[in-house]
A and B are shown apart, each in its own frame.
Chain A
Amino acid sequence: EAGVVQSPRYKIIEKKQPVAFWCNPISGHNTLYWYRQNLGQGPELLIRYENEEAVDDSQLPKDRFSAERLKGVDSTLKIQPAELGDSAVYLCASSLVATQPDEQYFGPGTRLTVT
């Protein structure tokens, strides 16, 4: 079974530039999560999807961050414009059903460096 796939693995951009991250969850997983992990910290949720619907997006900085999950499968997280403080690892995770205490399966993450 293929795991959660993320791309790119690394991205270096200058501040004020846009950037996008892509995630393909495990097949059949209805729930998809985007997390941000700062150095020395645990993951912090940005947004959760149930199929195509975005729920639990209160931590997403909506002035510069946007996300979509078309057709309830792949998802894209975008930052425009990026700021220095956005440097972090962006993790995508998926789980079968959020209402159950299922474990989440994480992708390898995208390490973003904003200069």
Chain B
Amino acid sequence: AQSVAQPEDQVNVAEGNPLTVKCTYSVSGNPYLFWYVQYPNRGLQFLLKYITGDNLVKGSYGFEAEFNKSQTSFHLKKPSALVSDSALYFCAVRDIRGGSYIPTFGRGTSLIVHP
């Protein structure tokens, strides 16, 4: 079985400050990990993914995420937040083992960047 947890319903950060959106996962094998962003009245947009290799993954719009196997975490980060980053962020995991091709999504974290 695979699962993902986003422990924060909402994250508030001031513009220009660094931001972190947390995600932890559980899989029986090795994970594929994804971050998506959802703006109001729009579908989810892919930000970045971790498959293998370097634990720090860089994605769209200046976002990056750090894979930590020992802590089973894949936190999303950005060095300097913009007001336009305000949106809903979803972490997703897919277990490599077992042939599952379906990602499991977290509940989402609302990021609010204050001017």
Contact = CB atoms under 8 A, between A and B. Distances in A.
Interface of A: 4, 31, 40-45, 48, 56, 91, 93, 98-99, 101, 103-109
A61 B39 CA distance: 28
Contacts of A41: 107-108
A100 to B, nearest CB: 9
B101 A103 contact: no
Given A43-B44, A103-B49, A108-B43, A48 B106 contact: no
Given A104-B46, A108-B43, A40 B102 contact: no
Contact of A98 (B34, B45, B101, B105): B101
A108 B105 contact: no
Contact of A91 (B43, B51, B92): B43
* Interface SS of A by simple majority: loop
Contacts of B36: 106
Nearest to B103: A104
Nearest to A108: B43
A40 B101 contact: no
Nearest to A106: B43
Nearest to B59: A103
A45 to B, nearest CB: 5
B51 A48 contact: no
B71 interface: no
B90 A42 contact: yes
Interface string B16-52: 0000000000000000101010000111111001010
